[in-house]
């Protein structure tokens, strides 16, 4: 006999784990030195969140982007979003894994939604201002920029779920039988 259902008490560990993945993705995006954008053809120009470099092979001339106010804003928004994400992770871990504190779950959802707003602003400002000030041909956005969007999407999904979880207090506490979506008889 095969049965497929959702066991909510086991799901309590998954949500903080997903937030941990979002933290890792955010750190990769913020710390990446290989660039958020690179030119399409010659591979002679790339820019990360912090610097832009021009050159070839071993001879690169790198300049800081932190002289531009838009780059400072992007860095600040991404770092503040990461700090809020870490706080949301800690609160979610204690609210779901240590003790079941349903009243803390909407707070975690609110923190995650706020971090999403900050990071979406940063991830939109960067390409707009890069294209406006530095653009010299065709550029591709790289995996590091993609990790920033990946972290933001994970945070958005978890934020929505955390806002909806208080409706399932009995299921999370294990006081309700598992609801089976599919059940086959022998």
Contact 180, 6 (CB under 8 A): no
The count of structural domains within the chain is 1
Instruction: Return the CATH number at 165.
Output: 1.20.140
Answer yes or no: is 185 within a domain. no
Q: Is the pLDDT of residue 65 over 80?
A: yes
**Predicted pLDDT at 80:** 97
Q: Give CA–CA dist 118/176, Å, rounded.
A: 38
Q: pLDDT of 14-50, one tens digit each?
A: 889 999 999 999 999 999 877 788 887 657 788 888 8
Angle at 147 (CA atoms; ends 145, 150), nearest 5 degrees? 120
Q: What percent of the chain has pLDDT over 70?
A: 82
Q: pLDDT of 45-55, one tens digit each?
A: 888 888 888 88
What's this model's pTM, rounded to 2 decimal places? 0.85
* Mean pLDDT within 131-153: 85
Q: Give CA–CA dist 82/61, Å, rounded.
A: 29
Answer yes or no: is 90 within a domain. yes
* Mean pLDDT within 140-153: 91
Answer yes or no: is 107 within a domain. yes
Answer yes or no: is 84 within a domain. yes
Q: Give CA–CA dist 126/141, Å, rounded.
A: 11
Encoding tokens for residue 124?
């939109």
**Residue 103 lies in domain:** 7-34+69-177
**Predicted pLDDT at 32:** 86
Smallest CA-to-CA distance from 126 within 107, 149, 160 is with: 149
């Amino acid at each position: 006999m095969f049965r497929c259902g959702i066991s909510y008490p086991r799901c309590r560990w998954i949500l903080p784990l997903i937030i941990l993945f979002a933290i890792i993705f955010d750190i990769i995006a913020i710390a990446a030195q290989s660039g958020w954008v690179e030119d399409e053809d010659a591979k002679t120009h790339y820019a990360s969140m912090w610097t832009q470099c021009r050159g070839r092979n071993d001879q690169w001339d790198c300049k800081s982007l932190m002289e531009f106010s838009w780059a400072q804003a992007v860095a600040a928004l991404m770092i503040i979003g990461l700090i809020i994400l870490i706080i949301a992770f800690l609160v979610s871990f204690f609210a779901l894994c240590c003790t079941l504190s349903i009243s803390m779950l909407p707070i975690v959802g609110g923190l995650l939604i706020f971090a999403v707003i900050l990071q979406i602003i940063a991830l939109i400002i960067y390409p707009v201002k890069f294209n406006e000030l530095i653009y010299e041909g065709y550029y591709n956005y790289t995996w590091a920029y993609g990790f920033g969007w990946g972290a933001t999407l994970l945070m958005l999904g978890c934020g929505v779920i955390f806002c909806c979880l208080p409706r399932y207090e009995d299921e999370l506490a294990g006081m309700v039988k598992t609801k089976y979506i599919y059940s086959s008889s022998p």
